[in-house]
Amino acid sequence: MRHLFASLFLGLAACSLGGATALQQGTGAQWTSPGGDAGKTHHSLLTAITAENVGQLGLAWAADLGTMRGQEATPVVIDGVLYTSGTTGRAYAFDAASGKELWRFEPEVDMQVNRTVCCDMVNRGIAVARGKVYVAALDGWMYALDAKTGAVVWKSDFIEDRRRGDNSTGAPEIAGDVVVVGMSGAEYDVRGYVTALDLETGKLRWRWHVVPHDPKLGPQETPELEAALKTWDPNSRWDIGGGGSPWDAIHFDPETGLVLVGTGNGGPYATSKRSPAGGDNLYLASLVALDPRTGRMKWHYQETPGDNWDFTATQPMIFTRMDIDGQSRPVVLHAPKNGYLYILDRRDGKLLRANPIVRTNWAKGIDPKTGRPILDPDAADYTTGPKIVFPATTGARNWHPASYDPATGLYIGAVLDMGNLIFMTEGQKPFKARGLNNDAALIFTPDVKEALAAFPPAFGDAVRKLPAYQEALRQPATAQVRAIDPLTGKTVWAADTAGWQDRGGVLTTASGLTVYGGVTGKLFVRETKTGKLLKEIDTGTAIMAAPMTYEVNGVQYIAVMAGWGGGGYPFVPRYSAAYTRDNMNRLLVFKIGGGPVPMPDMRPALEVAPEPPAQVVGVTAQAIARGQGLFFSNCAICHANQPRSITPDLRRMQPATHEMFRQIVREGLLVPNGMPRWDDILSADDTDAIHAYLIDLQASTHKDELEKQKAGKPLDGPSLTILSNY
């Protein structure tokens, strides 16, 4: 019976709340959650595709998803049906063997939420149970869909306060008779939380908050929040919310009956502004274990106490068993942004190992007795002046799933060894509702030397004197897929990627294969033990999501979602397939004996930016400068103003766009296209100032590109990735 496996899996999950159930190490023909098995190891037991025949791997079928943004989900396959999700929480069902579309679902999303989405309108997956597909839309509505038809069975609003910047990009997680989901928005004005909804009705069962509320408002919701309050300054920036949004990494453990949740960064970024008296600021940047029946916390481990650097703990977790210190232990492997790979006991959160996997100058190490980092404030405390911090806020690891191969004991995933210059303004900034409140500017180390030319000499001199500056010049960034021994943190083998924005999820198989994609559009297959390249397939579409594999009627398939986007999505690097080809979002499915992959169309040749209209009479240099500030604090996170960006390059606005600028920005003329309205934040004068700045910018771009054209130089020269109020 269709979905019987899903029901049996859920039954095991429910039973495990009363008793232990062993984890399966790897998946068979089915792939029942985005992570594959109960441990989310992204490892498969299938062996039909091998090193000997992988040279014959080719396209079995493909599906056009109908969108042009980032794809980060890993599909699920149950009883011959492939389910997956996409932009803003769309959901799809296909016959897993033929690719025939069975249904697709598009939620009605309030695109105003797009103002508070730092890292694209992505979705990281669905959950399937009891004949229903659960998907969370970008604006924070959970949908339960009939798995056979895609019809809505129920929908439930899981956003606590819609006056805030809350949104949703993560995959829901089934835990017994509830579906647990997190939320995003820590850079804005949110107080993080996870929500549990009844599987059958969608009714709220419980909600667990990551950080306390203002103590002046009365008692905290839970005893653990009362305890956390002692780790915050009573005069913290409660108006901003504190951050901590658990936007990914929610994982039910059938062995312990607990739900482990990875929590987000603090808001604003700097502890000195968020909680002036200091403190650990529980439960930011932590792993917390919750009882899925009640929502009460059982244990916690804070990976980055008093988070000061956007070091989220929301990166994917892997559950397995390992022999450590003479005992077989149920463990969680976790590599968050902060540069360390942790091994914790899943039963009580006890730290067993913590080893650096990249350069980490914010801490000198992790004390094995206390589990606390040994901080290096001289190197990384940017509250006293600009600092170059390793790793960068992009993280040593991020949302891109890793895989654990039990046969080799290797943890294999995308690793980024890069830092960033980070600095902020003096004093406290006023609260900005549904706006960026992090108060920090970032310049990644590959761009630091060139960027300093745009700053006052005193600032540049201060940066050049930093001990980390020479280190940043010597090795600006290393981006690799690495096979790591989790017990030591040592790299067994590494494969370079095309650049620091080229990171993707990983699949391993029992036949000794490691499979992953690149934003270059290539799908790579390597030998797991050695990293030897066995096969690469050019798809023409950037790949960031993790591949998965399944079997139907004795045929093994490998599937992957493809499409450029995610964090920093407006900044399309030259090596991305989306730089030269249409960013057509696709689901690509491969098998032995398959054919070539059809290539997306080439992007049109770049033309000189059109000459803009003249400035309105009376516009001053001060007004243009004011518009520039407003642009960078409100607009630049989406509009990179690069010629190959997947969002509009506002230096290339046509006359009609200039004429309708106020209607677009303040009246929501292009809301259906994903451009929200800003009349609640930007006045008419503000909008006109931004427009004046863009006219000035377009005029200079037009002039510069005319000169380049006459000189025979390319129009799309390199540009810096500078994120203000990132």
Residues classed as catalytic: 310
- Coil, helix or strand at residue 55: helix
Please tell me the distance from the alpha carbon of residue 670 to that of residue 679, in angstroms, as a whole number: 14
| Chain centre to alpha carbon of residue 472 | 25
Beta bridge partners of 517: 523
Say what the alpha-carbon torsion angle 387, 340, 232, 172 is, to the nearest 10 degrees.
120
Report the alpha-carbon distance of residue 569 to residue 169 in Å, rounded: 15
- Greatest C-alpha distance within the chain: 79
What tokens were used for 367?
């004390």
Give, to the nearest 10 degrees, the angle between helix 621-634 and helix 684-711: 90
Enumerate helices (H) and strands (E) in the chain, giving the number of each. 12, 41
In Å, how far are 186, 423, 633 from 244, measured between CA atoms? 6, 21, 21
Question: In sequence order, what are the beta bridge partners of 360?
Answer: none
Bridge partners (DSSP) of residue 302 are 286
Locate 9 and state its tokens: 């899996």
Which structure tokens are listed for 138? 């970008």
**DSSP per residue over 60-128, as a string?**
EEEEE-S--S------EEETTEEEEE-GGG-EEEEETTT--EEEEE-----GGGGGG-TT-S-----EE
d(CA 378, CA 397) in angstroms, rounded, equals 24
End-to-end Cα spacing for the chain: 49
CA distances in angstroms from 666 to 117, 366, 384, 561, 690, listed in the order given: 19, 49, 38, 35, 12
Cis peptide leading into 283, omega within 30 of 0? yes
